[in-house]
Amino acid sequence: MNDLPQPVWLPVYAALVAVAGFMVWTSAFVNRMRDGCVLPFEPRRPVPWNAVGMAPGLLLLVLATLGTLAGGGEPAETLDDLAFIGNLAAAIVFSFVVLLGALGWVWQESGAKASDLGLAGGLRRVAGDVRLGVMGVFASLVPVYLVSTVLAQYVEPPKHSLLEKLLDRPGLSVWSVIAFAAVVMAPIVEEYIFRVLMQGYLERPDVLGRRLEEEPLAEQSEEERAGQHAEPLEEGSDEPLDDEAGWGDDFVPLAPISTPRTAWAPIVISSLLWALTHQGQGSAPAPLFVLGLVLGYIYQRTHRVLPCLVLHAVFNALSLTMAWALLKSQDLDLDLVPVAP
């Protein structure tokens, strides 16, 4: 438990986070009561890849368990700046190579399209996706910080190699590499590995026993059934929203929600495995599991990766900014600053 005095700005930051979170959760509650859901479900075809989609995430989990992604097991604070940068760069390159290999395989071997990889909608959806990602940040901050605060009273606080290195007050080069790793590379690698590839595979109707809502479709008219299989049209246009979304006559949309168990199972499993890749960082996996649930829910509803990338990147940017501000204020432990790189 950290008994050091807190800077005067910290309660103000906490209050702003609480107010923003309250507004977002209030909006979510209103949507749930009015529309029956927090976010509208956007159906897509099941992803074409098989269990290979699980492999990159499981590989990172095994390596994290063995401690090979944290400077070979040597504490970050004992490394000089050059050695720390080298280890971090090696971890970044390795993770990115794993991601590129997996994406290349599903693209070539399974016939995956851009929409399968979370890129449906094109540029016209960017503004809305960025807004959704930012709202997701405020929705996740309060529960994540709350879990971190509670656990800090009873268990070992999070000890992340990046934050531990910051206690040495490193130079600009180390700060730059840490920021690049946490705000750019970690969101790209982890969201594609755990949300797009892993959660996408787990959402397939032949995995986890997830049922499609075939019965209601069978009771509809021919015109209504045709509408279920048609490509979405851009408002005021006869052209499909996504040129690569031509799913053909065999397109079967994923059910919006068949049962709570089947809807949440892929989210919970991918979030849990993602959180466990941060083991060895004290209690960090618990709050990051909460963050993963928010990320997974947004992806399950939209099947677009950009909101998740924005949420992940902004969350890590805020965490690093908070760490920098705490270090500038005085010598403080960084027990309550969760980072998800």
pLDDT tens digits, 262-306? 589 999 999 999 999 888 777 788 999 999 999 999 999 999 999
The dihedral through the CA atoms of 193, 196, 199, 202 has a sign that is: negative
pLDDT band at 148, cuts 50/70/90?
Answer: confident
d(CA 4, CA 242): 54
Torsions phi, psi for 240 (to 5 deg): -60, 155
State the first-to-last Cα distance of the chain, in angstroms, to the nearest integer: 24
Q: What is the pTM of this model?
A: 0.80
In this model, does residue 216 exceed pLDDT 50?
no
CA angle 179, 288, 199 (to 5 degrees): 100
Maximum alpha-carbon separation in the chain? 69
Rank 62-71, 292-301, 329-338 by mean pLDDT and report only the highest: 292-301
* 80-126 per-position pLDDT tens digit: 677 777 888 888 889 899 999 999 999 988 889 999 999 987 788 89
d(CA 204, CA 221): 26
